Amino acid sequence: MLKTLDLFSGIGGFSLGLEATNFFETVAFVENDDYCQAVLRYHWPDVPVLGDIRNVKAEDLPARPDVITGGFPCQPFSHAGKQRGQD
């Protein structure tokens, strides 16, 4: 099982997809948004959710990841934001 660190996690789309393959296990999320953190904690109650990436240190991780994913901010393009991503 490959260990994944999910950066800029949003509500966990990368981890959801990777874990569905049964080859990946998420060891931690890094997400600064309070709402997204609540969603992550609900669906992954045993996985640490770390806040601001600028404050995350290697020793904060429960295990060394094999894979690191990072989500592109969707707020500029989605209905959750102002949809001015191309501006």
- In tens digits, what is the pLDDT along the chain, a chain of 87 residues? 999 999 999 999 999 999 999 999 999 999 999 999 999 999 999 999 999 999 999 999 999 999 999 977 666 666 666 666 666
Can 36 be counted among the known catalytic residues? Answer: no
* Predicted local confidence at residue 10, as pLDDT: 92
* Predicted local confidence at residue 71, as pLDDT: 78
65: nearest Cα among 47, 42, 44, 40:
47
* Per annotation, catalytic residue among 3, 74, 76, 77: 74
DSSP 8: S
Q: Pairing mode, if any, of strands 2-7 and 49-50? A: unpaired
Residues present in the chain in total = 87
* Predicted local confidence at residue 48, as pLDDT: 97
Tokens of 74: 């969707």
